[in-house]
Amino acid sequence: MYLDMSSDRVDFTWMIKNAVVPRPIAWVSTVSATGVGNLAPYSYFALVTMDPPMLMVSFTGRKDTLDNIRETGDFVVNLVTEGSAGTQTDTAAVVPPEIDEAELLGLRTVAGTAVRAPRLAGAKAALECRAVEEKAMPGTTLVFAEVVAIHVDDGVLDERGRIDIAAYRPVGRLGGALYTTVAESYRIPVPAAADVLAGKRSVELAGSHADRTTGVPVTDLR
């Protein structure tokens, strides 16, 4: 199938959205200038730089979240993990700005450490962010922000203090109302230039997925 700008607009855009998956979900918590909390999910979201760590969230149309970020300059990205996908979908419902979705759904929040916005107490990982730049794009507004702090549940860390994907189990957005949980991972190290020039492929060096996260020790080839 081939679609382009001359195709049916809905078919064209939905095919793209369904192809670019899974998308991480930014479950954004903010607070207004008058102290009213807000919680809403956004899957048009990505890290954009690592040093300094910065991310981007895309807002289509008028959003209470965007209004609050403009008023206070900060927000928290709570990452969605297994068991919270249904609740984050509930927070996508459009309710009046004076209603705090977290309070409405009985979700406990904790005051931010480096920012004014609160974070979800039950989030396995939460990124405290300060807005840096806002950019208007056709039909949407992009907010770029620096991640100034991160909270991670000790229960999802491995013995090295790194996030263990099998314990973390992040949720990704697929097309429409479909979601997926990342429960398995495998390592394919980037090979040395000499190996590539010699015709050795990464999957051969990695043992053809022999290093899946099943407790089997893996030697990093880098």
**Stretch 95-108: mean pLDDT:** 96
User: Above 50 in pLDDT, residue 218?
Assistant: no
Q: What SS3 state is found at 185?
A: coil
User: Above 70 in pLDDT, residue 209?
Assistant: no
Question: Which contacts (CB < 8 Å, 24+ apart) does range 131-135 have?
Answer: 131/69, 131/73, 131/74, 131/75, 132/54, 134/70
**Tens-place pLDDT, residues 185-199:** 888 888 888 888 888
**pLDDT score for 25:** 96
**Tens-place pLDDT, residues 137-168:** 999 999 999 999 999 999 999 999 999 999 99
Question: What mean pLDDT is reported for the chain?
Answer: 90
**pLDDT score for 153:** 97
Domain 9-181, CATH: 2.30.110.10
Rounded Cα gap, residues 217 and 122, in angstroms: 31
* Per-domain boundaries in the chain: 9-181, 187-222
Confidence of residue 212 (pLDDT cuts 50, 70, 90): low
**pLDDT score for 207:** 55
**pLDDT score for 141:** 97
Residue labelled with tokens 């000499």: 194
Q: What SS3 state is found at 107?
A: coil
**pLDDT score for 210:** 47
Beta carbons within 10 angstroms of residue 6's beta carbon = 7
**Tens-place pLDDT, residues 21-71:** 999 999 999 999 999 999 999 999 999 999 999 999 999 999 999 999 999
Handedness of CA 208, 214, 217, 222 (dihedral sign): positive
**pLDDT score for 194:** 87
Full-model pTM: 0.88
**pLDDT score for 215:** 41
User: Above 80 in pLDDT, residue 214?
Assistant: no
Distances (CA, A) of 213 to 119, 202, 203, 209, 218: 30, 18, 16, 10, 9
**pLDDT score for 182:** 93
- Give me the residues paired with residue 31 across strands: 37
